[in-house]
Amino acid sequence: MTNGVFQIAIDGPVAAGKGTVSRLIAQRLQFLYVDTGAMYRASALIALRANIPFAEEAKIVEEVKKHTIGMHAPTVEEQDGRLTTVLLDGEDVSWKIRTEQVSQGSSIVAAHKNLRAELVRQQQEIAKTQSVVMEGRDITFRVLPDAQLKIFLTATDTERARRRHIELLEKGQDVTFEQIHTDLLERDKRDMERDVDPLHIVPDAWVIDTSTLSIEQVVDLIVEKVHTVEGS
Ligand code: DC
């Protein structure tokens, strides 16, 4: 790739483990981890704070352009279980974008063509000058179509719901497996059926089903592959 940067593009459905896996790969390879979902979440938070309904595409895009969404690896003081620190105009919103309201909102605003165009532009800018592990829903075919490594990370829906359920219970949230499972299927459906860049598997993607693999096994597989691609 130009400038000697290496791009790893990872797509996959809700709760497939993309975040955890990407963060660990980024640490191992000293690449920047970019959680693009966090940018859609931050956009939903921006809309909420400005009292703009999630359906109002033009107003949301206009408002989002007035703000700066930033991201960096958590510093020592910030290590509280987050995978990345997300800044909105310098304010730490890493946890404020993880609420149920923002999750649902992000999947609605992510269907807006013009918002996607703006965020994709920002994401491409980030990946131009540094090696990245970028994960989301349109990275392999829209954001980084020339990435050296394209991965579609997935797992069965019950396994994904089971993992998400455990994660929320550990955080002390009182939710049932059924609630999580229903919400996950709803968000998957929206991601795969939206008109603009629906989530799909590109022909040159490496599909990894993580249902029966540990996080370490997935990370090892991918890091090994990067070394093979780099050496070829
Ligand atoms: O991965 P996540 O749950 O944090 O993503 C939040 C929402 O943003 C999710 O509903 C899908 C959407 N999204 C997207 O449409 N494109 C991306 N590249 C990343 C996320």
Delimit the domains of the chain by residue range.
7-219
| For residue 18, pLDDT beyond 80 | yes
**Percentage of the residues of the chain whose pLDDT score is greater than 90:** 90
Between CA 133 and CA 149 the distance in angstroms is 10
Q: How many CB atoms lie within 10 A of CB 215?
A: 12
Residue 206 β-bridge partners: 151
- pLDDT (mean) for 33-60: 98
The pLDDT score that the predictor gives to residue 35 is 98
Nearest in space to 91 (alpha carbons), one of 70, 111, 60: 70
Nearest-5° Cα angle at 78, 95 to 99? 5
**Predicted confidence band of residue 173 (pLDDT cuts 50, 70, 90):** confident
Q: What is the pLDDT of residue 1?
A: 47
Quick one: DSSP state of residue 76?
Answer: G
- Is 112 near ligand 1, meaning CB less than 6 Å away? no
Please say whether the beta carbons of 136 and 11 come within 8 A: yes
Is 231 a residue whose pLDDT tops 50?
A: yes
Indicate if ligand 1 lies below 6 Å from the C-beta of 137: yes
Q: What angle do CA 160, 164, 165 make, to 5 degrees?
A: 115
User: With bands split at pLDDT 50, 70 and 90, how would you rate the model's confidence at 12?
Assistant: very high
Q: Report the distance separating Cα 33 and Cα 125, nearest Å.
A: 14
In this model, does residue 189 exceed pLDDT 50? yes
- Residue 172 has which token pair? 């002390």
| Mutational test site, ligand 1, from 10, 39, 40, 153, max ligand atoms within 8 Å of CB | 40
Q: What is the pLDDT of residue 5?
A: 94
Domain 7-219 is of which CATH architecture?
Answer: 3-Layer(aba) Sandwich (3.40)
Q: Beta strand pairing status for 85-88 and 69-72?
A: antiparallel
Amino acid at 173: Q
Average pLDDT, the chain: 95
Residues flagged as binding site for ATP: 12-20
Sequence length of the chain is 232
- What pLDDT, on a 0 to 100 scale, did the predictor assign at position 100? 83
Which residues partner with 151 through β-bridges?
10, 206
Measure CA of the first residue to CA of the last residue in the chain; give whole Å.
13
Q: What is the mean predicted confidence (pLDDT) over 183-197? A: 92
User: Quick one: DSSP state of residue 142?
Assistant: I
Distance from the alpha carbon of residue 133 to the mean position of ligand 1, in angstroms: 15
Whether 52 contacts 35, CB under 8 Å: no
The pLDDT value given to residue 139: 98
Q: State the distance from the centre of ligand 1 to the C-alpha of 232, rounded, in angstroms.
A: 32
pLDDT in tens, 132-156: 999 999 999 999 999 999 999 999 9
